[in-house]
Amino acid sequence: MIKNDLLLKALNGDPCDRPPVWMMRQAGRYLPEFMKLKKKYDFFTRCQTPELATKITLMPIKELNPDAAIIFSDILVVLQAMGIKVEMKNNFGPYIPEPIKTKKQIEKIIVPNIEESLGYVLEAIKLTKKELNSSIPLIGFAGAPWTLFCYAVQGSGSKNFNVAKEFIFKNPEISHKFLQKITNTTIEYLKSKINSGADVIQIFDSWGGVLSQKDYYLFSWNYIKQIIDSIKDSTHAIIFAKGCWYAIKEMSLSGASGIGLDWTCSAKYAKSQSNNNITFQGNYDPARLLSPIPKIKDDVKKMIKEFGTKNYIVNLGHGILPNIPVSHAKAFIESVKEFNT
């Protein structure tokens, strides 16, 4: 039994006195303790060393006391496991030295054995669960196949992923083959994460919004749906697809327990699409955390009133930004805990 199981209650649709709260990308970036560790170890060393990953996962828990932990890792480790080289460059972000450009490359990509290639993530989950000692739930995660495809083909981050889009429109057939390989890997990966102790799974489709609605269903949702189908009976799944407010209805019928919303979607609109059968998560504009603390507190209370205390998880509308003062992040979490109707 988990002592503070507010997150699980919210995902079950059970009544809560106040909603649970956690923040996307809470482990890292803006935390001074994390920045110190960053000077000593490169990014993937931090991901690949279970003791370090556990330590980083627990940093925001000690500092901010949210209602859930999210395992420190990255969505891109799945591409590495599939045989694609990925580097993390300082002040640049992800860099793929040999981006996927040809049918031959796609044929060579493997669907790996998860224990062998990503065992370090599973170890980090087991160690973190031990350290958390049933205090709060642990969230495991994966990138949506489309978002991983974007990095693998584009070769780096991008505002519009034009190279990845050009590729799917010129080579739809082999694109689908690649997306299916990512999907198959992700399903096995998430099953292993659940078996290792992850209490909730979140799918990050950070770049779903670069596609048209029609193309989103074809190149992204189609694959997310397969993932949800394979894990929905053994865990609570949350789908976060930035910019994809139009797909709320399909998402709420998929068997997932939660939908993460970005800040451009209103509570009223989200609710109108879902028949109250799903839990929403979000959606404070991360840049709004730069507002004065009293304003943050006031905004959060208003946001809870709009979404309600049932079927709701307070979060940001995307990851926390590196320039957010820790005191402001703390105020965001505290204001949820202070909430009473």
Residues that bind ligand CP3 (CB under 6 A): 24-29, 38, 43, 70, 72-76, 88, 93-94, 141, 157, 204, 206, 319
CB of 56 to ligand CP3, least distance (A): 8
Nearest-approach distance from CB 33 to ligand CP3, in angstroms: 12
Name the minimum Å distance from CB 119 to ligand CP3. 18
Contact 139, 204 (CB under 8 A): no
Closer Cβ to ligand CP3, 20 or 174, answer by number:
20
Q: How many CA atoms lie within 13 A of 137 on its CB side?
A: 21
With respect to ligand CP3, which residue has the nearer C-beta, 70 or 125? 70
Please, which residue, 322 or 325, has the CB nearer to ligand CP3?
322
CB of 190 to ligand CP3, least distance (A): 13
282: enclosing H helix or E strand? strand 279-284
Nearest CA-CA partner of 175 in 93, 254, 109: 109
Integer angstrom CA distances of residue 320 from 209, 279, 317: 19, 21, 9
With respect to ligand CP3, which residue has the nearer C-beta, 37 or 301? Answer: 37
The residue number with the shortest CB distance to ligand CP3 is 28
Alpha helices in the chain, H assignment, sequence order? 6-12, 32-40, 43-48, 50-64, 77-81, 103-108, 114-132, 145-154, 162-170, 172-196, 213-216, 222-231, 248-252, 267-272, 293-307, 326-337
Q: How far is the CB of 186 from ligand CP3 (least distance, A)?
A: 13
- Nearest distance in Å: CB 341, ligand CP3: 29
174 versus 206: smaller Cβ distance to ligand CP3: 206
Alpha-carbon gap, residue 26 to 6, rounded angstroms: 18
> Given the complex with ligand CP3, which of 73 and 192 has the nearer CB atom?
73
| DSSP secondary structure string for all residues of 52-113 | HHHHHHHHHHHHH--S-EE-S--TTHHHHHTT---EEETTTEEE-SS---SHHHHHH-----
Contact 317, 262 (CB under 8 A): yes
Cβ proximity of 134 and 3 under 8 Å: yes
Q: Which is nearer to ligand CP3, 13 or 93 (CB)?
A: 93
Distance of closest approach, residue 280 Cβ to ligand CP3, in angstroms: 18
197/339 with CB nearer ligand CP3: 197
Shortest CB 23 distance to ligand CP3, Å: 8
